[in-house]
Amino acid sequence: MEETFFEKNKGKELRVAMVGSGSWATALVKLLLNHQESIGWFIRNQKNIDKIVRHSHNPYYLQSVYLDPKRLNMSTDINKVIGNADIIVFCTPSAYLLNILNELTVPLEDKFIVSAVKGFVDKENLTVAEYFNHTYGIPYSQIAVISGPCHAEEVAMERLSYLTISSKYKEVATHICDLFACKYIKTTPGTDIYGAEYAAALKNVYAIAAGICHGLNYGDNLMSVLMTNAYNEMCNFLQATHPCSTRVLSTSAYLGDLLVTGYSQFSRNRTFGSLIGKGYSVESILAEMNMVAEGYYATKCIMEINKTTMVDMPIANAVYQILYEGKYPAYVVKRLTDELH
């Protein structure tokens, strides 16, 4: 085994920084402050920083979460934040990640990258880990991925939640687990970076499908069949694109995350799909939603990737037809129900 980032930096007090300021980023900042005296925090808008300093909470997301400004080294300068940190947690909507990275001038080779982005890098059809590896040459042993059934809103309420942290080596993943674990967050180290990222993206696509069915007034019986088929579809895709003999898809990072995203009231992807089912246009929903529905972007990426693998994915294909081909949801779903079993 190669010398890991943590072995190279043994004895050093590692500094952590957060990139992103949405609900999930705010929840993770709350967790990080359980262990870190202070952290860096890149926030694009100076007015947001001023409001956090003045009111001790994020003015737009999870306002119940107390944030001590004295422990937050906030800045609108991405290079300053990353330059002063060793471990960087990226937690932005996938559609905005490239714009942020394009501002980077500081090197990343000596940083440890943690991705809490549940989607694909815009226009690249790559997961975040793949993008950092291909573009910046960051080895997978220096990248970790956060996944699992963990809504930001429930973290804010300190409800018991579970996270899986995946990296190339379990020992490395364990170090990152220690950054986030607390009395209401159980963490599990894993090594399936590919599976964790693709499952996290796919479950958002299937949550949109669940929402559309809900908006069309289908009931729990159909929903259970839909989610069962979605799980099988996800298994087939992962096995075809990146086989892994040790991957157990019935665990919380895969099946658990799929279920909570498909069923929960907190799921923005389900909400997005529900509005489509009720007759709202995709364009109007995207314009009105305060949060990004990652599944909208993931649907297109998955279908592009699947052009080479040709896995049978009727649910993802149905969502794509509705979102990108403008087909009538009721008609598409009715046809889909004939393929489910």
Residue-wise pLDDT for 312-328, tens only, equals: 999 999 999 999 999 99
Which domain covers residue 330, as residue numbers?
A: 201-337
**Domain contains 304:** yes
Angle at 67 between CA 66 and CA 73, to 5 degrees: 175
Does the pLDDT value for residue 290 go beyond 70? no
Residues 40 and 59 grouped into a single domain: yes
The structure tokens listed for 27 are 């929840």
**Do residues 133 and 255 share a domain?**
no
Number of domains in the chain: 2
29 and 102 part of one domain: yes
Q: Are residues 151 and 264 in the same domain?
A: no
* Residue percentage of the chain with pLDDT more than 90: 82
Look at residue 213 and tell me whether its pLDDT is greater than 90: yes
Domain end call among 139, 165, 191: 191
Question: Which range, of 3-12, 71-80, 233-242, averages the lowest pLDDT?
Answer: 3-12
Q: Residues 20-35: what's their mean pLDDT?
A: 95
Residue 95: per-residue pLDDT? 85
pLDDT score of 114 more than 70: yes
DSSP string of 186-211, one letter each residue: EEEEE--HHHHHHHHHHHHHHHHHHH
CA 45, 49, 50, 55 dihedral sign is: positive
Q: What CATH number should be reported for the domain holding residue 211?
A: 1.10.1040.10
Q: Choose among 37, 2, 13: nearest CA to 169.
A: 2
More confident residue, 267 or 85: 85
Question: CA torsion sign, 329 to 149 to 233 to 204?
Answer: positive
Mean pLDDT (whole number) for 90-117: 93
Q: Looking at the structure, tell me whether residues 124 and 206 fall in a common domain.
A: no
Question: What distance in Å separates the CA atoms of residue 135 and residue 99, rounded to the nearest whole number?
Answer: 14
pLDDT of residue 143: 98
pLDDT for 292 beyond 80: no
Instruction: Answer with the one of 191, 219, 241 that is the final residue of a domain.
Output: 191
The reply to whether 217 and 185 lie within a common domain is no
Q: Are 139 and 28 found together in one domain?
A: yes
- Of 203, 278, 300, 334, which one is the catalytic site residue? 203
Query: What mean pLDDT comes out for the span 250-258?
Result: 92
Our answer to whether residue 186 is catalytic in this structure is: no
Q: Is the pLDDT of residue 277 over 70?
A: yes
State whether 187 and 206 are in the same domain. Answer: no
Residue 291: pLDDT above 70? Answer: no
Where is average pLDDT lowest: 169-173, 200-204, 289-293?
A: 289-293
* 303 and 221 belong to one structural domain: yes
Please compute the mean of the pLDDT values over residues 183-200 and round it to a whole number: 95
Are 173 and 24 within one domain?
yes
13 and 85 fall within a common domain? yes
pLDDT tens readout for residues 181-190: 999 999 999 9
- Encode pLDDT of 34-58 as tens digits: 999 999 999 999 999 999 999 999 9
pLDDT band, very low/low/confident/very high, at 123 (cuts 50, 70, 90): confident
Provide mean pLDDT across the span 95-122. Answer: 92
pTM for this model (two decimals): 0.94
Q: Is 196 domain-assigned?
A: no
In a domain, 137, yes or no: yes
Task: Output the domain CATH number for residue 32.
Answer: 3.40.50.720
Q: Does 182 lie in the same domain as 52?
A: yes
- pLDDT at residue 1 greater than cutoff 70: no
Q: What's the pLDDT score for residue 11?
A: 84
Which stretches of the chain are DSSP H helices?
5-8, 23-32, 46-55, 78-83, 94-101, 128-136, 152-156, 170-180, 193-215, 220-241, 257-263, 268-277, 282-288, 294-309, 314-324, 329-337
**Is 110 inside a domain boundary?**
yes
